[in-house]
Structure 1
Amino acid sequence: MTIDHLLASTTASRYEALTELDVPSERLLINELQTLCLLLVQAAPALLLTTVSLLFTGKLLDTVSHWDAMLQVDQLIMIIPTILNLQGNLEMNLSARLSTAANIGELDDPATMRSMLIGNWTMLQVQAISVSFVAACVSLVLGKIVPRVQEENLQTRRPIPHLPPEAGVRHSGFPTLIMVAATGMTSAFLSGLILGSFMCLLIVVCRRFKLDPDNIAPAVASCLGDLVTLCLVGVVSTILLPFLKTPIPFILGIAMVIIAVACMVYTARNPHVKQLLTQGWSPLFIAMAISSATGIVLDMFVSRYEGFAIMAIVISGLPGAAGSIFVSRLSTSLHAAAISAGSGLRLSEPSRKLVMITLLLITIPVEIIFLAVLNAFGWLKLHVFFIVFSVLFFCCAVLASLTIARYLTDWLWSKNRDPDLYALPIHSALMDLIGQLLLVLCFEIVTSLGAKLHAKKS
């Protein structure tokens, strides 16, 4: 693809070709302001949707955790947060890769677009089915070492929740491992089928209507990934539970392996994505390790504070979603700059600091709306001290997310690692850790001031 074709095909509002000598500085300033306005208009609804989805995911997890399948098979509880993390990372990686491809013009040719979309979708299935099997094995180990408690405290993106209280017949052993693995792989496959197809469609629609997918797709992938995957895990496990001691889970697991192999063969033959088979695996497992460590470290704090679980949803999820938008934008800018290097042209792009400030200003009202909704519905009784400090620490979490996104993306690029593949899983896992540690600090300070947070009992 020539540079003229590239610059003609990229999103005009963000990557407009400008000569170094002929365009006045006023025009550059106007273009930067237009880009920031587009970021505000496009990213704000996506981040608000992210918060709503995370809230419903937390409530859904509380419901699903009491289903018979979860109560009778310990490892299903263990596998949920791990699969949510992994599947969310895969969907965000997919959105980042396709957003970059859209913004640098690779999706403008119909044949290339079709090949790239199908290839990325099959690659998503290879990764989803593979890592879900690893998650099942990890859950088997955790099921042996994590003690049961009488009260449960679950939340999304917490890899090691307490096991449910004793209820009915409990199952363990090799058949349980097969059933959990089949549940994980099937749920991951169906999630990839639904969400992967949706994300491909979303990127195409954004390109068609001149919207910047970097501002929309990562946040949408982050919020819908947890919700859809959790629903599927609950449904699939409930369907398979009556067949626990039959060959059906094993047959289903074998079918998932065959599908993964078929997808891998197609991906290896696709010239646009075949290199992905050997890239991007390490950050998925690094993220899983960080998330597991986060769960172990924070497990001692969660039960001490009322309302911690529901607050952790937004203080980890929303800053992480804002950071994922920034990572995707930075990656696209780096790819576009590499292609246009030496052309005598430059791409109109606002400064990184302005983008960071804009994303911070977008997220603060969303956080305030979230707190207002919690208080209005009676889910939490908020003290004024807690509101002040929670907003303060939320801003710290967003700034940390954006700073990590910036330097992690630049560092990966300097090491010849594609940020679209490597940055988002590590960034997401780190924000889980940082966000929840900041929330612990917030609760400690508010409690020391004599204020208490009261949560509505289920």
Structure 2
Amino acid sequence: MRLSESAAVTGSDVMFCILCLCPRQHWEAFQYITEIFILVPALLGLKGNLEMTLASRLSTAVNVGKMDSPIEKWNLIIGNLALKQVQATVVGFLAAVAAVILGWIPEGKFQMSHAVLLCSSSVATAFIASLLQGIIMVGVIVGSKKTGINPDNVATPIAASFGDLITLAILAGISQGLYKCLDTYPYVSSLVCAFFMCLTPLWIVISSKHPASRTLLYSGWEPVITAMLISSIGGLILDKTVSDPNLAGIVVYTPVINGIGGNLVAIQASRFSTHLHFHCAPGEVPDEAKGCYYPCRTFWGSGANHRSAQVLLLLVIPGHLIFLYTIHLMKSGHTTLTPIFMSVYLAAATLQVLLLLCIADWMVHSMWRSGKDPDSFSIPYLTALGDLLGTALLALSFHFLWVIGDQDSDVAPGLDGSNAHL
């Protein structure tokens, strides 16, 4: 599969995100516990923290021959899956704590029942989505190896494609179900949270038995937790923006801009990492990456991956145009596709990916130079930064459009009190 084809696959998750998120933002749980929106970027970020990191690690293992032996292959798979479940449970719990701190405590509002529901929804969603996606990823990696396809071009995009769909659907279903039980069976949320948390020791024991995952069990928390916190800040921006009825349409475009940006930069980071594993010893970088970083190096340098950076950047505008038109046809975006809106939106999306590709080039080589495996450390940071940049740029775009008068009739009334489009 060529890079352009594999990158195109990454957009499939955006279609499903639109279908999943649009009706669910009007469900009772999302209306009365808006802090759930803070969870959305953090939980969607799990695909970067866990799934796409797993895909990148196993893809590199395939390319360097570490999965040729059946015993070694299954040791890698079982250990990494168990490690992923531990990380998913802990990150899900911490994401809920962050949502409570960022959403309620600054305003002096706190309801224990809602906090428990938030925690249960987050932990259950993270656990179930991680397990399902992990199984899918193992199948993709093993299938790619058997068919001779480079998993760097396939595994990461597919991990991203299924990630948003599965996570959003599970989060919406669980949170709404627990909300309906809140009055009649208030203890259900606590039981759900306790059940998944009690499984954590089992996964720790399994992952600690495999050398490949034992090291990451103790040292791999920094990027995962830091990325979750970065994504939660993006979630706070989303929550505050969605709370403004004039800007409510942002909720549909958030998974689009975040999904595409995170997917594209993850492909590039995975390719960088594989190239370094093949051609450089840990701590050493290619000649073109030595010295101070400068942005032009990413796109016009003499390195092996500058062409892929050009292709990924060129995919941004046509990809977003397709999904903007899809949202328009589905009448789910709450925003008329005016030329001004499209220009501002596409400028924000292009700037996001441009920054991410430059950051990926600098970050992957810096981590390799410092002795860290970029397969495990870079992608969580990059996808979290993608969520933060995408949400922030999108919020600024919507605010800018509102200020200049490019407002939408089904988002807020006009200046004269009518619903005419300005």
Partner in structure 2 of residue 134 of structure 1: 94
Partner in structure 2 of residue 122 of structure 1: 82
Structure 2 CA distance for partners of 1:217 and 1:55, relative to 1, 3 Å = farther
Partner in structure 1 of residue 253 of structure 2: 311
Amino acid at match of 1:425: P
Counterpart-to-counterpart distance in 2, 1:79 and 1:385: 31
Please say if residues 87 and 188 of structure 1, whose CA atoms lie closer than 8 Å, have aligned partners that are also in contact. no
Q: Deviations over 1:172-216 (max 9, x none)?
A: 33x655454333322222112211101111111122222222222
Counterpart-to-counterpart distance in 2, 1:295 and 1:253: 22
2:212 counterpart SS class: coil
Counterpart-to-counterpart distance in 1, 2:37 and 2:340: 35
Counterpart-to-counterpart distance in 2, 1:452 and 1:188: 38
Counterpart-to-counterpart distance in 2, 1:183 and 1:436: 22
Counterpart-to-counterpart distance in 2, 1:269 and 1:249: 32
User: Which of 139, 150, 155 is the matching residue for 1:201?
Assistant: 139
Percent identity over paired residues: 29
TM-score, length basis structure 2: 0.80
Residue 391 (structure 1) shift: 2.5
Structure 2 CA distance for partners of 1:455 and 1:227, relative to 1, 3 Å = farther
Q: Matches of residues 333-352 of structure 1 in structure 2 within 5 Å?
A: 333-338=275-280, 351-352=304-305
Counterpart-to-counterpart distance in 1, 2:342 and 2:407: 10
Q: Deviations over 1:303-362 (max 9, x none)?
A: 3546333333323321221001101111111112246999xxxxxx97222110011223
Partner in structure 2 of residue 324 of structure 1: 266
Please say if residues 306 and 455 of structure 1, whose CA atoms lie closer than 8 Å, have aligned partners that are also in contact. no
User: Which of 16, 19, 29 is the matching residue for 1:56?
Assistant: 19
Partner in structure 1 of residue 5 of structure 2: 41
Partner in structure 1 of residue 297 of structure 2: none
User: Which of 226, 229, 250 is the matching residue for 2:164?
Assistant: 226
Structure 2 CA distance for partners of 1:340 and 1:259, relative to 1, 3 Å = closer
Structure 2 CA distance for partners of 1:398 and 1:253, relative to 1, 3 Å = closer
Counterpart-to-counterpart distance in 2, 1:61 and 1:306: 13
Partner in structure 2 of residue 382 of structure 1: 337
2:104 counterpart SS class: helix
Partner in structure 2 of residue 363 of structure 1: 316
Structure 2: gaps of 5 or more residues: 285-301, 413-422
Please say if residues 91 and 195 of structure 1, whose CA atoms lie closer than 8 Å, have aligned partners that are also in contact. yes
Query: Does 2:195 align with 1:255?
Result: yes
Query: Does 2:98 align with 1:145?
Result: no
Counterpart-to-counterpart distance in 1, 2:69 and 2:373: 23
Amino acid at match of 1:219: P
Please say if residues 62 and 145 of structure 2, whose CA atoms lie closer than 8 Å, have aligned partners that are also in contact. yes
Amino acid at match of 1:309: V
Amino acid at match of 2:267: I
Counterpart-to-counterpart distance in 2, 1:440 and 1:140: 22
Structure 2 CA distance for partners of 1:374 and 1:100, relative to 1, 3 Å = same
Residue 394 (structure 1) shift: 2.3
Counterpart-to-counterpart distance in 1, 2:177 and 2:283: 55
Amino acid at match of 1:336: F
Counterpart-to-counterpart distance in 2, 1:406 and 1:444: 31
Partner in structure 2 of residue 283 of structure 1: 223
RMSD between superposed Cα atoms in Å = 3.4
Counterpart-to-counterpart distance in 2, 1:273 and 1:267: 6
User: Which of 138, 143, 154 is the matching residue for 1:216?
Assistant: 154
Please say if residues 307 and 454 of structure 1, whose CA atoms lie closer than 8 Å, have aligned partners that are also in contact. no
Counterpart-to-counterpart distance in 1, 2:339 and 2:269: 34
Q: Matches of residues 18-37 of structure 1 in structure 2 within 5 Å?
A: none
Please say if residues 87 and 128 of structure 1, whose CA atoms lie closer than 8 Å, have aligned partners that are also in contact. no
User: Which of 313, 326, 336 is the matching residue for 1:373?
Assistant: 326
Partner in structure 1 of residue 288 of structure 2: none
Number of matched pairs = 389
Q: Deviations over 1:247-279 (max 9, x none)?
A: 554444443233211111111111222111012
Please say if residues 61 and 230 of structure 1, whose CA atoms lie closer than 8 Å, have aligned partners that are also in contact. no
Query: Does 2:111 align with 1:172?
Result: yes
Please say if residues 336 and 408 of structure 2, whose CA atoms lie closer than 8 Å, have aligned partners that are also in contact. yes
Partner in structure 1 of residue 306 of structure 2: 353
Counterpart-to-counterpart distance in 1, 2:36 and 2:396: 31
Structure 1: gaps of 5 or more residues: 1-36, 149-162, 164-170, 343-348
Structure 2 CA distance for partners of 1:196 and 1:116, relative to 1, 3 Å = same
Higher Cα radius of gyration: 1
Partner in structure 1 of residue 378 of structure 2: 423
